[in-house]
Amino acid sequence: MYEVTAATIRDHAYGIDIPAGADIDTQLGTQIIKAEALLNFKVPTLEARVTAGTIALTLVQGVVCDMVLRVVKNPMSLRSFGVDDGQATIDNTASTGAMYLSVDEEALMAALPVHAYGAVRSIRLGVPAWRLPRA
C-alpha cells in the first residue's frame, strides 16, 4: 500500500540490529500490515491524499516505520530490566511495546495543527449586552 518493506524498516532502524531471514521478514510484514491498517483507520483520507500527491509518500512511510519500530524495539513490553549490578529503564514511548499512532503523527497525517493546549475548552458565541457600545 505505502511500499514499506522489511528492508525499509531495517533502513530506518538506526541503532537497532534486526536480523535477516524469511521468518523475521514475515513477522515484520505482519507488523507493517497492522501499522498501515491502523493508520488508514485513524486517517481515512490518507491513501487518496498520497495518490493525489497532497502528502508525501516518504512522510507516510516514515510514520509506518516508526510505528513498527516501536514494537520491534520492545516486543516484550519491558519497562525496566537489570542484570547483576546494572539496571536500565526503557523510555516510556517504547516501553508499551504496542502498535499505536502518536498524537503528533496523527496530526501530521491528518494535516491538522498540533496545539500545545489540546482541545478547545470554550468558545464565546456572542457579546453580552452590557459590553456593547452605547448609542
Looking at the chain, the whole-number percentage of residues with pLDDT higher than 90 is 39
DSSP 7-37: HHHHHH-TT--PPPSHHHHHHHHHHHHHHHH
**For residues 35 and 41, what is the distance between their CA atoms, to the nearest angstrom?**
10
Average pLDDT over residues 22-32: 94
Query: What is the pLDDT at residue 95?
Result: 46
Each residue's pLDDT tens digit, 64-110: 999 998 888 766 555 555 666 776 665 555 545 578 888 889 888 88
Across all residues in the chain, what is the average pLDDT? 79
80: which strand partners? 89
Average pLDDT over residues 117-133: 62
Query: What is the pLDDT at residue 75?
Result: 60
Q: How many residues does the chain have?
A: 135
For the chain, give every domain's residue range.
Answer: 6-115
State yes or no: pLDDT of 57 exceeds 80: yes
Question: pLDDT class for 31, splitting at 50, 70, 90?
Answer: very high
Average pLDDT over residues 40-52: 91
Cite the DSSP H helix spans in 55-124: 57-73, 92-95, 103-110
| Dihedral of alpha carbons 116, 122, 127, 129, sign | negative
DSSP 41: H
Average pLDDT over residues 10-26: 90
Do 60 and 46 meet the contact criterion of CB atoms below 8 Å apart? yes
